[in-house]
Structure 1
Amino acid sequence: MIDGIFIMEFSVRAAELTTLLESRITNFYTNFQVDEIGRVVSVGDGIARVYGLKEIQAGEMVEFASGVKGIALNLENENVGIVVFGSDTAIKEGDLVKRTGSIVDVPAGKAMLGRVVDALGVPIDGRGALSDHERRRVEVKAPGIIERKSVHEPMQTGLKAVDSLVPIGRGQRELIIGDRQTGKTDP
């Protein structure tokens, strides 16, 4: 009889212990976050080569240890080419680089009119933050020929030779070749 009571108590404690362990194990990883970190292999001319970012996406934002941000553009087997937004003088070989997990996007809309912003759309004109704006991705696929608005309005360059020999429509892509300071970009 004593053995029967002992076995019954032990089985109740074992069930409680199992439940307790299962709850602890399932809750162990709930607050666990893994960041993919890489190291700078080389840096120069606004491009940083980074090793160790195996799962990075093209166009993804990264952050360097110095706080400078960049966009991953050249994905290779051994390393990733990252275009640095801002000065690369604070970035050194061996510095850590962290993925942000988000594709680069910038503010868009009427709130941007008349504002001076940096490469990421952050205002640098001293007039405060942007209000009431949407965000759009930087790298998007260009619309197909069918979806595009047709070119229906002529654009006058102001040079009769160009306007008569190569008529250009507003919104049309056209290569204009010429020497420097000859007025190619003048309206």
Structure 2
Amino acid sequence: MQRLHQCLLIATFLPLCWLGMQVVHEVGHVVAAWATGGTVRRVVLHPLTISRTDVHPNPHPIIERAAGAVIGALLPTLAWTLHHWLRWPGAYLTRFFAGFCLVANGAYLLAGSVTRIGDPGDLLRLGMPAWPMWLFGAITVPTGLRLWHRLGPHFGLGPAAGRVSRKAAYASAALLIAVVAAELVAS
């Protein structure tokens, strides 16, 4: 039964992190668009697509495009810091999610600045140099990997031999179902 809970936790928490990362990334675009006088026309969040935010008019597109990755990395990191500081149980889950968002957003800017796709491609076309994206990735990717360091036992790896929190496994599964359902209904 231990391995079943371990598999449930890992198999649901990874896609939950992916969908959650897309949500906080798009929150960054929305907040920046509103803060700079832009109008958000549409936010696409669907479990089977890559998320996006359509802004028109967009008076400050460089700020709006960059804010997806910046806020998308910062919000989960702040959430984990607060969770850790308050010593609430399950802080390893928000720590993993923060690491996931740091790695994903940093790798996105690094790879996208080379391939000229997505937000990084837009930023380059708008005249932003590549070096700030490289610097962002050079900071966030190793920081995210550092946050993941020594989390394996919480996910039943290594000496934990499959033992995980049953509550965490069921909560992760329930949250994944809820997020997928919400995204399907909203799209």
Radius of gyration: which is bigger? 1
Q: TM-score, normalised by structure 2?
A: 0.19
Structure with more of its chain in strand, by fraction: 1
Q: TM-score, normalised by structure 1?
A: 0.19
Higher relative contact order (CA 8 A, sep 6+): 2
